[in-house]
Amino acid sequence: MSVVVYLIDDGSTDGTSAAVQAEFPTVRLSTGDGTLYWAGGMRRVYGQALQEKHDYYLWLNDDVELYEDALARAISTSEGLIARFGGEHLIVGAMQSPDGAATTYSGFIRSSRLLPWKLEKIDPRACEAVECDTVNGNFVLIPSSLARRIGNIHPAYIQMHADLELGFVARKLGGRNWIMPGFAGVCAMNPGRKKWNEPGLPFLERLRLMRHPLGYPLKPNIAYSRNFGLWAPVAIAAPYVTLLTHYLFKRSSSRSESREEADGSKTNEAVF
């Protein structure tokens, strides 16, 4: 098996680029200034890979501890599905937590017909592939013909949802998405960071977090919502409705508390 590695180092300061070049001189290394985030970095190196014809393209995150046979099993899964069903198949390798107790990244199925953007993560099975609607991008094997029809990551994406769109577009083009048997590796969930929709946040702080590239900025939200057809306007508006509802609820609660304090003061005055 011949493998060509494309790697993006988005402004690290720990000597990663030099170490890679010294130990793995055949790696196609690109560098950024630290502003690419996940989707931007993937778009750059995936675009480079698409310029050359490979049998498969593999999306792989750097925080994955890959099992030695993962790639071979993914290709075997793809070949088996082609032999069984024909057509084109995108293969996702599920990840497990370091303690082996949970599935951290995998494929998803839509969990609601009413709200098509609601997704449920699926555990892999030991001995058979599981079909899914879309995928996490930690380990995804894409056959050449499907990769070229899908094309590169949309320029609107900054951090999130580019991998979910990959799975949705693959299905729209007639491909099928599958979780390969077993786990492909170990990958802990990303470290927790404050999210815009966490309860208890002040309105302005919530708005700031929503606009941040790691939050829910408008442009990527619009791009992602195209996958939901007539429901797209609802999907675009949903987080902002949540934001506004929180703001109005907060104001209403504050007014109620103020009235209760005022009433309490009057009662105290009457008692004393």
Contacts of 50 (CB under 8 A, 6+ apart): 57, 147, 148, 151, 152
Whether the predicted pLDDT of 62 surpasses 70: yes
Residue scoring higher pLDDT (62 or 261): 62
Residue scoring higher pLDDT (248 or 195): 195
Predicted local confidence at residue 265, as pLDDT? 47
How is residue 153 written in tokens?
Answer: 């990551």
What's the chain's average pLDDT?
90
How far CA 73 is from CA of 8, 180, 230, in Å, comes to 25, 8, 38
Residue 270 confidence class, pLDDT cut points 50, 70, 90: very low
Tell me the average pLDDT across 74-97. Answer: 98
The least confident of 29-33, 114-118, 129-133 is 114-118
Whether the predicted pLDDT of 248 surpasses 80: no
Tell me the average pLDDT across 155-174. Answer: 96
Whether the predicted pLDDT of 254 surpasses 70: no
Amino acid at 268: N
Whether the predicted pLDDT of 6 surpasses 90: yes
Predicted local confidence at residue 250, as pLDDT? 63
b (16+ CB within 10 A) / e for 161-184: bbbbbbbbbbeeeebbbbbbbbbb
Predicted local confidence at residue 256, as pLDDT? 54
Whether the predicted pLDDT of 268 surpasses 80: no
Tell me the average pLDDT across 131-158. Answer: 97
DSSP string, the chain: -----EEEEES-SSSHHHHHHHH-TTSEEEEE-S--HHHHHHHHHHHHHHTS--SEEEEE-TT-EE-TTHHHHHHHHHHHHHHHH-S-EEEEEEEE-TTSSSEEE-EEEE--SSSTT-EEEEPPPSSS-EEESEE-SSEEEEEHHHHHHH-SPPTT-SSSSHHHHHHHHHHHTT-EEEEEEEEEEE-PPPPP---TT-TT--HHHHHHHHHSTTS--HHHHHHHHGGGGGGHHHHHHHHHHHHHHHHHHHHHHHHHHHHHHHHHHHHHHHH-
pTM: 0.87
Residue scoring higher pLDDT (154 or 249): 154
pLDDT tens digits, residue range 110-120? 998 888 899 99
Determine the Cα–Cα distance for residues 11 and 18; give it in Å rounded to an integer.
12
Predicted local confidence at residue 11, as pLDDT? 92
The least confident of 76-80, 93-97, 181-185, 198-202 is 198-202
Predicted local confidence at residue 242, as pLDDT? 80
The least confident of 63-67, 128-132, 212-216 is 212-216
| Three-state secondary structure of 121-189 | EECCCCCCCEEECEECCCEEEEEHHHHHHHCCCCCCCCCCCHHHHHHHHHHHCCCEEEEEEEEEEECCC
